[in-house]
Amino acid sequence: MNTRTAIEELLHAGHGNKAIAKQVHVRHQTVAAIRAELGLPNIVRPSRAGYSEDAFWQRTQPVDGGHLNWTGHYNSTGVPCLRTTDGMHTAYRIAFRIRWRRDPVGPVKPGCSMDRCVHPDHVEDQPMRQQYEAIFGAAA
Ligand SMILES: [Zn+2]
């Protein structure tokens, strides 16, 4: 398989320019040019290189009320964290990406009643909190 074919296949598989460039040893500008040529949208995907979702689930434990307890590392401020090859991530952010398949905007915190809950369905980023406040906050 030549480089061009390999790049096209990876593009169609939904990989990012930089990831493809790294894999087939070309400059990411080259990949971007081929992407443009093929008319494929430039998808910015959350990077999943540094950790696996398994690593997240292995450090969780279901608790009463449908919440999820973090059995992994906590940083000095008590935030559940996962050390990955590209640094520390909060478990909240990883949970958020698992649920929503996008990068969160602003800080991610549990939106449920349990402190430090890392359930993917229970974490919220800033726009979600603001939306919630706009709907329910004023009435309270
Ligand atoms: Zn919860």
pLDDT in tens, 88-103: 899 999 999 999 999 9
Tally of domains in the chain? 2
pLDDT score at 139: 47
Q: Do 34 and 68 reside in the same domain of the chain?
A: no
Residue 44 pLDDT grade (very low, low, confident, very high; cuts 50, 70, 90)? low
Do residue 34 and residue 101 come from a single domain? no
Calculate how far, in angstroms, residue 71's C-alpha sits from the geometric centre of ligand 1. 14
User: What is the distance between the alpha carbons of residues 140 and 133, in angstroms, rounded to a whole number?
Assistant: 9
Out of 13-22, 120-129, 130-139, pick the least confident. 130-139
Residues 72 and 111 in one domain: yes
**Rounded Cα–Cα distance for residues 102 and 122 (Å):** 15
Q: Is residue 10 located within the same domain as residue 33?
A: yes
Q: What pLDDT sits at residue 140?
A: 44
* 63-72: average pLDDT: 96
For residues 26-49, average pLDDT: 80
- Axis crossing angle, helix 17-24 with helix 28-38, rounded to the nearest 10: 120
Position 4 pLDDT exceeds 70: yes
Ligand 1 geometric centre to CA of 64 (Å): 9
Q: How confident is the model at residue 84 (pLDDT cuts 50, 70, 90)?
A: confident
Q: How far is the CA of 84 from the centre of ligand 1 (A)?
A: 24
pLDDT bin (cut points 50, 70, 90) of residue 50 is: low
Q: Determine the distance separating the centroid of ligand 1 and the alpha carbon of 133, expressed in angstroms.
A: 18
C-alpha 29 to ligand 1 mean position (Å):
43
Q: How far is the CA of 112 from the centre of ligand 1 (A)?
A: 5
Section 52-77 average pLDDT: 93
Cα(68) to ligand 1 centroid in Å equals: 6
pLDDT confidence bin for 52, thresholds 50/70/90: confident
Would you say residue 43 lies in a domain?
no
Supply the range of the domain harboring residue 115: 53-137
**11 occurs within a structural domain:** yes
Q: Is residue 62 situated within a structural domain?
A: yes
Same domain, 85 and 118: yes
Residue 18: phi, psi to the nearest 5?
Answer: -70, -40
Helix then strand then coil, in percent of the chain rounded to 5, is 40, 15, 40
pLDDT of 63 higher than 70: yes
- Cα 120 to averaged position of ligand 1 atoms, centre (Å): 8
